[in-house]
Structure 1
Amino acid sequence: MTLPRDLDNNAAALRAAMVKTLTDAGAGLHLHPAWLAAAAKVPRHLFVPGFYLPSDESDGTGLTLWEPVTSRLDYGRWLATAYSDATLITQFDGEETDWERPASRRGGAPTSSSTLPSLVLRMWSDADVGEGHTVLEVGTGTGYSTALACERLGSSHVASVEVDAVRLGGAADALYGCGYTPTLARADGMYGYWPEAWFDRIVAACSFRSVPSALLRQTRPGGKVLLPLSGWLYGNARVLLTVAGDGTAEGPLLPGTISFMPARAHAAPAYGNPSDWAAGLHEERSRAARHAPERLTAATEEAFHLRFLAQSAVPDAQMVTVDGVLHLIDVVSGSATTLTPEGGAWSVREGGPLKLWSLIEQVIDGFEAAGRPGPETYTLRVDGEGQRLLHARMPQLRLRLRLPHGYR
């Protein structure tokens, strides 16, 4: 691909403007100056030769129209967007795009992206990475975040793993083209990367349903692991764990409403037609809901946090709303629940071995009784008893994170 001769000058100016914007917001974002200095040097545009942006138009079916953006299609838009503080979608549904001949697309689930720079810098800053540390990054993606780590620490101190071979190949080309030479490997981030262990810091750029034990075993005593946590209700949190010499780990949830794409091994399974699940509930007795579903579905920080707590109680449940009726579907236990609006209230029907909404209401009750504490007041402890969310004012709740079947 031939790029305009003035690319370097234009990119440098845009990069400087992006870093200035991030520096001005640095106090609120808690960005370490050393990471901002790295961002001033790493050419992000070289890691995103093509990406998708949502169109302002609608296709009339509710699906998002995605437009490809490359330097060939629109040089100015491509370069300016590369240096905006935005997440750039580079892959849908695990399918690669031919960026020489890209086409628009309708809908789809994003499976790879270049995360917005402020969040990348925040992750590295929150992980308390310092000079001389060796780091493992889980989820190479485009390689931009990896490049920042190489710029700050030196390539010999950085290892990065990626499950997608094509993604890894593109990242490797960009990294090596920029002069960065970290250790790169195609691997499932669930298992870390034993050939380079032990690490002082492990930072994940994808979310997990629970903490993979291999990552703790590959961290030096006193080292730290920063992980996004998510689940099938799409409640999200981040945790910064400090690993002890006996293999246990403990640390706080971090504040903020940040989400990452799930690790592919932790993605939710298909549940089919919600109406099929609801059909078996017609004979179940209904009751009035003590808490409305808006407690989880509202576009608020509290609802975002409550979804995370709720999925700790019902880790295999998924949630979807069809024609105003909310469905909770648990494909593992075969349980299902519907919440139907009735005259300003909600009617609940629950079937199967787990009473899904009842379990969620217990979490909300405890949350209310504790004074609605924010995520930063919780501690995650990983030890021989499992992975437990702890809160001094919610001792009666046994909130646990669980690994998918087949992982340890």
Structure 2
Amino acid sequence: MTGTRPDIDADSAPHGAEAGADAAAVPLRAALAENLAGQGVLDSPAWRSAVETVPRHRFVAGFYAPSGHADGLTVWEPVTARAAPARWLETVYSDTTLITQFDGDEPDWTHPAARLGGAPTSSSTLPSLVVQMWADAGLADGHNVLEVGTGTGYSTALACQRLAGTGEVTSIEVDPRRLEQAAGALYGCGYSPDLAVADGLWGYWPSAPFDRIVAACSVRRVPSAWLAQTTPGGRILTTLSGWLYGYARVLLTVTGSHIAEGPLLPGTISFMAARRHERPAPGNPAHWAHLTSASPAREARHAPTRLDEATLTGFFARFLAQLAAPNAQVATQPVDGGRDVRHLLDVTTGSAATLTATTGGGYNVRQAGPRRLWDDIETAWDAWDHAGRPGPEAFRMRIDQDRQTITNPHFPELTFTLP
């Protein structure tokens, strides 16, 4: 049973600088709650109370902040309570995602070092999104909940505080060092969820069945174990992603054995991929270019720069491209003369497409292999444009045994099968 103890007892009460941070955090938590309420995120007094109560700073001993560039890479500066207490505490209680780990390398926050580049592998997600996810999933009193991806434990603590002993929370994490730190913070704050080091793609049978499964990572397809471990009428909230780094959230209701259906949710977010769903290394782009070099060229109807549009519409266009070519990824190759050359590569079939900028501002495309990757993407974009570019909320996902599809009910040509 999930227990909460918002007031730390005498034996575990913080002392010295830590106690000072606890006291200074109280008004900052109130301000954060007010900020989230203004955004319309806190839809109930119970969630507002959770944000005002859970001490996020106890879950973030340090984080990395960008501080410039060197050799074309971002310099990441560690920010900790010891080195910069005011900056650390103020940032922790802002509505910001805090990067806490790169490349699976757990930092020593007592003696942290700056980093040059790297791939983020763990973070404390911005509070507004954490609360929104729990609220979208419909977390309510009495629920048995599985969280996939404990991370720092802050999201776990919010769920424990919200249920306040009326339900059960299980949280699993694939990284044992990350879970160890999260466990220390959770238990130190008086929360007692069930925690385990486990691969989240398999769910967690010992605590099943669940009323809600919420994933703090992204997946290429919804694992069948999640459906098997969800009660009939229960819900699964996760983020779909892929090797083109397109993202969309989906809220599924399980209606039968390995059958579920539900809408994509509006907006866009990005979550780190479940580690077994990360894209594979494609190799040297020049080697892939050799596959397309003898193929005939045609003028592309859509420029590959459409994959880069940093707007809500652009983000969903990337997700649709990913649905159309689910095993494709993008690589670039430096070419003399400054031309923009991009390669779409499919390591599963050996298909490739090379798009080269022309002097007239367009692009030529050459394709090879069993899949015409750019043809597939352009066909999807043509249909989407013709439909008036409906947003993610106009699409639904259905799972029926091993088949997972996303479709627009009003435009059947916008139907895609997940890999």
TM-score per shorter chain, which class?
over 0.9
1:76 to 2:93 alignment: no
Aligned residue runs from structure 1 range 5-20, under 5 A: 5-20=19-34
In structure 2, list runs of 5 or more residues that go unmatched: 1-14, 335-339
**1:298 to partner: Cα distance:** 1.1
Structure-2 separation of matches of 1:321 and 1:71: 40
Given that residues 233 and 317 in structure 1 are in contact (C-alpha distance below 8 angstroms), is that contact kept between their aligned partners in structure 2?
yes
Q: Secondary structure at the match of 1:262?
A: coil
Structure-1 separation of matches of 2:87 and 2:402: 52
Q: Which amino acid aligns with 2:237?
A: L
Partner of 2:7: none
- CA 1:397/1:230 → structure 2, altered by over 3 Å: closer, same or farther? same
Aligned residue runs from structure 1 range 8-407, under 5 A: 8-26=22-40, 29=41, 31-55=43-67, 57-59=68-70, 61-154=71-164, 157-323=168-334, 324-342=340-358, 343-384=360-401, 386-402=403-419
User: Normalising by the residue count of structure 2, what TM-score does the alignment of the two structures yield?
Assistant: 0.92
**1:385 to partner: Cα distance:** 6.1
Partner of 1:405: none
Listed one character per residue, the Cα deviations across residues 327-368 of structure 1 (whole Å, up to 9, x for unaligned) are 111111111111111111110011122111011111111112
**1:204 to partner: Cα distance:** 0.4
**1:280 to partner: Cα distance:** 2.7
Structure-2 separation of matches of 1:120 and 1:322: 38
Given that residues 258 and 401 in structure 2 are in contact (C-alpha distance below 8 angstroms), is that contact kept between their aligned partners in structure 1?
no
Structure-2 separation of matches of 1:31 and 1:283: 59
- CA 1:30/1:231 → structure 2, altered by over 3 Å: closer, same or farther? farther
**1:398 to partner: Cα distance:** 3.9
In structure 1, list runs of 5 or more residues that go unmatched: 403-408
Percentage of matched positions with identical amino acids: 59
Listed one character per residue, the Cα deviations across residues 178-198 of structure 1 (whole Å, up to 9, x for unaligned) are 000000011111110111111
Q: Secondary structure at the match of 2:82?
A: helix
Structure-2 separation of matches of 1:348 and 1:295: 15
After alignment, is 280-289 or 219-228 more displaced? 280-289
After alignment, is 94-103 or 384-393 more displaced? 384-393
Given that residues 327 and 336 in structure 1 are in contact (C-alpha distance below 8 angstroms), is that contact kept between their aligned partners in structure 2?
yes
Given that residues 384 and 414 in structure 2 are in contact (C-alpha distance below 8 angstroms), is that contact kept between their aligned partners in structure 1?
no
- CA 1:395/1:92 → structure 2, altered by over 3 Å: closer, same or farther? same
Structure-1 separation of matches of 2:389 and 2:143: 37
**1:31 to partner: Cα distance:** 4.4
Structure-1 separation of matches of 2:187 and 2:39: 31
Given that residues 228 and 257 in structure 2 are in contact (C-alpha distance below 8 angstroms), is that contact kept between their aligned partners in structure 1?
no
- CA 1:30/1:399 → structure 2, altered by over 3 Å: closer, same or farther? farther
Given that residues 223 and 243 in structure 1 are in contact (C-alpha distance below 8 angstroms), is that contact kept between their aligned partners in structure 2?
yes
Number of aligned residue pairs: 398
Q: Secondary structure at the match of 2:217?
A: coil
Q: Secondary structure at the match of 2:412?
A: coil
Structure-2 separation of matches of 1:267 and 1:2: 43
**1:142 to partner: Cα distance:** 0.4
Listed one character per residue, the Cα deviations across residues 296-321 of structure 1 (whole Å, up to 9, x for unaligned) are 22112112112112212211111133
Listed one character per residue, the Cα deviations across residues 35-83 of structure 1 (whole Å, up to 9, x for unaligned) are 222011000000000111111x221x22110000111111111111111
Q: Secondary structure at the match of 2:366?
A: strand
Given that residues 206 and 260 in structure 1 are in contact (C-alpha distance below 8 angstroms), is that contact kept between their aligned partners in structure 2?
yes
Q: Which amino acid aligns with 2:397?
A: L
Structure-2 separation of matches of 1:138 and 1:226: 10
- CA 1:203/1:8 → structure 2, altered by over 3 Å: closer, same or farther? same
Structure-2 separation of matches of 1:274 and 1:31: 49
- CA 1:64/1:37 → structure 2, altered by over 3 Å: closer, same or farther? same
Q: Secondary structure at the match of 1:269?
A: coil
Given that residues 121 and 272 in structure 2 are in contact (C-alpha distance below 8 angstroms), is that contact kept between their aligned partners in structure 1?
yes
Given that residues 32 and 125 in structure 1 are in contact (C-alpha distance below 8 angstroms), is that contact kept between their aligned partners in structure 2?
no
Partner of 1:406: none
Structure-1 separation of matches of 2:178 and 2:402: 37
Structure-2 separation of matches of 1:307 and 1:352: 22
Given that residues 104 and 121 in structure 2 are in contact (C-alpha distance below 8 angstroms), is that contact kept between their aligned partners in structure 1?
yes
Q: Secondary structure at the match of 1:149?
A: helix
CA-based RMSD: 1.5
Listed one character per residue, the Cα deviations across residues 269-292 of structure 1 (whole Å, up to 9, x for unaligned) are 111221221133221111000111
